[in-house]
């Protein structure tokens, strides 16, 4: 098992989500682990209201402070899709690593 697989398992990431970059910033104390996550372009995502599969309307850059990985502070950076549901309009999809209303502004 390589380091990417360990991080994917720890975050619970499955398709269409993928880890595209990881960086450990040792210039800060405590050290910071930055993970970049991306969703597949062209994939369909469930509407967060009704669960209907919809195409992405657009993507918005978001950031979260995650649990520490060992002693390192962990930050997740992701381009999160918003879907255009025919019934509910444009809504941001739920991401598997965060609870509703969380994230760093």
Percent of the chain scoring above 90 in pLDDT: 61
Q: What integer best gives the mean pLDDT of the chain?
A: 89
So what's the pLDDT on residue 101?
73
pLDDT tens per residue across span 45-67: 999 999 999 999 999 999 999 88
Q: Where are the domains of the chain?
A: 3-92
pLDDT band at 34 (very low <50, low <70, confident <90, very high): very high
DSSP letter string over the chain?
A: --HHHHHHHHHT--TTEEEEEEEEETTSSS-EEEEEEEEPTT-EEE-TTT--EEEEEEEEEEEEEEEEETTEEEEEEEEEEEEEETTTEEEEPP-TT--TT-SB-
Task: Name the more confident of 105 and 62.
Answer: 62
């Amino acid at each position: 098992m390589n380091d990417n697989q360990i991080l994917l398992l720890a975050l619970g990431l499955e398709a269409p989500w993928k880890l595209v970059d990881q960086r450990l910033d040792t210039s800060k104390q405590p050290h910071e682990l930055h993970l970049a996550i991306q969703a597949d372009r062209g994939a369909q995502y469930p509407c967060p209201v009704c669960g209907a599969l919809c195409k992405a309307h657009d993507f918005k850059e978001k950031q979260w402070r995650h649990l520490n990985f060992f002693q390192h502070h962990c930050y997740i950076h992701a381009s999160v899709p918003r879907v255009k549901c025919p019934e509910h309009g444009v809504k941001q999809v739920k991401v598997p690593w965060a609870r509703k209303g969380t994230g760093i502004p």
